Structure 1
Amino acid sequence: MFEIKTAQSNASSAEALWLDLQQQLAGQDYQFGFVMGHHSRIPLLADLPMCNYAAHWIGGSSCFGVITEHGVFLKQDSVAVLMIRDEDGHYGSASAVIEHQDIAKATQQALTQALQKAGRPYQVPELVWCMQPPGTEEAVLGQIEKLLGKKVPVYGGSSADDDVSGLWVQYDGQAIYQQAVVIAVLYPSVAISHFFHSGYIPTQHKGIVTKAQGRLLHEIDNKPAVDVYSSWLNKKITANYMQETTLTPLGSVIEQDQLDLPLYMLSLPIDFHSDGTIELFAEVEEGKELCLMSSETPRLLSRTGTMCDCARSVLPQQKVSGGIIIFCGACLLSIKEQMGLVYENVCTSLDGAPFLIAFTFGEQGYAVDQTNRHGNLMYATVLFGEDDADC
């Protein structure tokens, strides 16, 4: 039997939160739990026996709140869980604190323990889910790929707060962390499908990265990056960079020989430095082409429903038990008052099936070039079917 169920609470105390979950989950047992909520509420979980409901958990903080099939909860007081009952499946999760900036070691430790807990240490999972603090994503993905290879889809979202002030947290079913890697491995008994994309299109403005280091973009076409970017926008950004750049990020070209059109992974400018350097929320590589990307509010609002349609179309008989959806927190901040349309689109696409939408500061997924990637302003959708995975 495979079943997905969600529960949500706006409780301000651990006792009230536990009562809400008990009433909605009806004391049933599950194999896996996914939990997201506002950074002020997730810490309440540390005082609750969440392992009474499921042995394996992954989660963390979401920008402003969450959305489920029951409604939009973005008033900075919500927590939501998505529970999977799958008696024929196997699941495992584990965490490791990042010590001395050794992200690779923490990732290896968390992944190895998750595989052991799933009882499948020598079998690659159908899907890996990761949760980590912003700034660690590329290293986490690189280490997962090193251990499991390139063909295992890795999805996730970096923990978030409301304003990039560093209040984000991660959760593993027992404890709360601010600098930890939490990894879940999934071997579901049903088919899964997934989709990772953005709601942005390229403009005519393009250039080559001639100097960069990690997430610091120094030069485009041998000119200060700030000057080039400002000329592309035809304006100089002077305040609140993230809100001003959300609709005009930079896109790195993904090589894909099978497609005629170039594909882009997005990087969001978050700070401009006096030396002409742009600080980004994702790494860029020297020698790669960058393009100024563009989007509009209607496209951002409709994209999640469209992605659910795409993911559902490849499930057996298009049957869906539910899904986990990652939505960029920066996109949320630019269209927060209109998120009811996103809710309606997803409900329609999934025919009322349970879902949880979380808002993250960095998105991870399996891109169309069959590579696990980290990007900004992206959407990630993982849907679970109803038929056996072997169908």
Structure 2
Amino acid sequence: MKIIQAIKKANAPFVFKGCSSGKHLKNPLVLVFGNRYMLETNSIYEEVKELFTDAHVVFGSTSGEIMDDTVLDGTIVLTAIEFEKSSILVHRSNVGEHNNNDENLGQHLMAQFPKEDLKHLFIISEGSTVNGSALINGLEKHKHSMISLSGGLCGDDDRFERTLVSYNENPKEGEIVAIGFYGSSLEITSANFGGWTPFGPERIITKAQDNILYELDGKPALDLYKNYLGEKAKELPKSALLYPLSVRTSEESEPLVRTILNIDNKENAMILAGDVPIGSKVQLMMSSVDDIASGAYSAAELAMKGRNKNPEIALLISCIGRKLVMDQRTEEEIEEVKSVIGNSTVITGFYSYGEMAPFQGQDQCKLHNQTMTLTLFSE
């Protein structure tokens, strides 16, 4: 596996790290994560294509870019990977092509990939309107249990205006890109961990539809949530990132963390990143800088557990809510990850509106919020 990285700042060309260009790589996968405004430049795809003429180029907008142990804002980070013993296949689709039925979209994408030798599917999804839970349900419906799945929902800082994704074209809205990794030599592991603590009374979801929450204990959910936030309610939906919801669908199930992506004052409802089934138990959550850093360390330990080889590259997807809590200390969670996976592993990734990974010891992928998610690759 050959890996090179580059960074682009506003009104400047890409600057490569440790080399002068990427033209020596053959058919690389080029992951381009960046600030939404910078990705809206009409020439961005051509600019990357000039650097890598025969590349598979995947773009995704972010709420912060990750390169090595550094967290950046207002930049574009590029990571190009040439696989020496394995291969990739990339497919894309758009929510508008499936009448906004995200589960059907997931099924359609999964059907595009031949199953023989498919080890892993990595998803880079638009994050503004997609129901991540439904998308994953569609992907999982016909996925063999031996095929692992991870990824994330793209971000737009804390604006929640629009997110951009694309494959081999300029980034645009509504896109979901799936990257399939093939080959017996590949070792790919993924894991996630949060670090958030529930507080306050536990309430029952009494009215909801998919990812829209209407009522808790028979009362308007948004009114209750605003009462808890107090003065911070004026800053919604941004302030909701500091107080996500813990959702437990049954006594036996692992609790899922759900971020509030938007609010509907007319319907007195909250729009979440994933499904919130009726009958589920809900609590507010909060966290501290130290808890989030510790959670990142735990996520890295889980991802490394049982591996045969040291990872050559790590794709990190962490939540915008964690970044807001960490503030000036955001890089500490990346440093915690690096202390576990080692200095020789190339690190890239972004801050997101949602993360995709299975719980430890489970095969089926889930949508998470407010977690650090790692996907580790080696050949």
Shorter-chain TM-score above 0.5: yes
SS at match of 1:177: coil
Describe the superposition over 1:54-99 as per-residue Cα deviations: whole angstroms up to 9, x where unpaired: 5434331111x3121163322x1x2112233222212111212332
Alignment-derived partner of residue 300 in structure 2: 308
Alignment-derived partner of residue 148 in structure 2: 153
Alignment-derived partner of residue 259 in structure 2: 268
Alignment-derived partner of residue 118 in structure 1: none
Q: Of residues 266, 290, 298 in structure 2, which corresponds to 1:298?
A: 290
- Give me the TM-score of the superposition, normalised by structure 1: 0.83
Alignment-derived partner of residue 348 in structure 1: 339
Residues 126 and 280 (structure 1), Cα distance of their counterparts in 2 relative to 1, 3 Å cut: same
Residues 222 and 147 (structure 1), Cα distance of their counterparts in 2 relative to 1, 3 Å cut: same
Residues 276 and 11 (structure 1), Cα distance of their counterparts in 2 relative to 1, 3 Å cut: closer
Contact 2:208 2:215 in 1 (8 A): yes
- Give me the TM-score of the superposition, normalised by structure 2: 0.85
Residues 335 and 50 (structure 1), Cα distance of their counterparts in 2 relative to 1, 3 Å cut: farther
Contact 2:66 2:316 in 1 (8 A): no
Structure 1 residues without counterparts, runs of 5 or longer: 116-120, 387-391
Contact 2:90 2:180 in 1 (8 A): yes
SS at match of 1:59: strand
Distance 1:132 1:308 in 2: 23
Residues 204 and 150 (structure 1), Cα distance of their counterparts in 2 relative to 1, 3 Å cut: farther
Counting matched residue pairs gives: 368
SS at match of 2:329: helix
Describe the superposition over 1:274-319 as per-residue Cα deviations: whole angstroms up to 9, x where unpaired: 65433323220111111222211221233223312321232115x2
Residues 54 and 331 (structure 1), Cα distance of their counterparts in 2 relative to 1, 3 Å cut: farther
Distance 2:57 2:336 in 1: 28
Residues 199 and 140 (structure 1), Cα distance of their counterparts in 2 relative to 1, 3 Å cut: same
Distance 1:306 1:227 in 2: 35
Q: How do 1:302-381 residues align onto structure 2 when only pairs under 5 Å count?
A: 302-316=294-308, 319-352=310-343, 353-368=345-360, 369-381=362-374
SS at match of 1:293: strand
- Using the aligned pairs only, state the percent identity: 18
Contact 1:305 1:345 in 2 (8 A): yes
Distance 1:175 1:89 in 2: 27
Q: How do 1:1-391 residues align onto structure 2 when only pairs under 5 Å count?
A: 2-10=1-9, 12=11, 16-17=13-14, 23-25=20-22, 27-43=24-40, 44-48=43-47, 49=49, 52=52, 55-63=55-63, 65-69=64-68, 71-74=70-73, 76=74, 78-99=75-96, 100-104=99-103, 106-113=105-112, 115=113, 121-123=114-116, 125-134=118-127, 135-136=129-130, 137-149=132-144, 152-188=147-183, 189-203=185-199, 205-230=201-226, 233=228, 235=230, 237-253=232-248, 255=250, 257=252, 263-269=254-260, 270-271=262-263, 273=265, 276-316=268-308, 319-352=310-343, 353-368=345-360, 369-385=362-378
Distance 2:305 2:285 in 1: 28
Residues 315 and 240 (structure 1), Cα distance of their counterparts in 2 relative to 1, 3 Å cut: same
Structure 2 residues without counterparts, runs of 5 or longer: none
Q: Which amino acid aligns with 2:174?
A: Q
Q: Which amino acid aligns with 1:59?
A: F
Distance 1:309 1:53 in 2: 37
Q: Which amino acid aligns with 2:123?
A: C
Q: Which amino acid aligns with 2:72?
A: F
Range with bigger deviation, 127-136 or 16-25: 16-25
Residues 47 and 56 (structure 1), Cα distance of their counterparts in 2 relative to 1, 3 Å cut: closer
Residues 338 and 282 (structure 1), Cα distance of their counterparts in 2 relative to 1, 3 Å cut: same
Q: Which amino acid aligns with 1:39?
A: R
Contact 2:208 2:277 in 1 (8 A): yes
SS at match of 1:91: strand
SS at match of 2:14: helix
Describe the superposition over 1:176-205 as per-residue Cα deviations: whole angstroms up to 9, x where unpaired: 221112111112523121102322122352
Q: Which amino acid aligns with 1:206?
A: E
Distance 2:229 2:8 in 1: 45
Deviation at 1:108, TM superposition (A): 4.5
Alignment-derived partner of residue 389 in structure 1: none
Deviation at 1:102, TM superposition (A): 4.5
Describe the superposition over 1:340-387 as per-residue Cα deviations: whole angstroms up to 9, x where unpaired: 32333233223222111301112222224532222322221111245x
Distance 2:229 2:159 in 1: 26
Contact 1:209 1:219 in 2 (8 A): yes
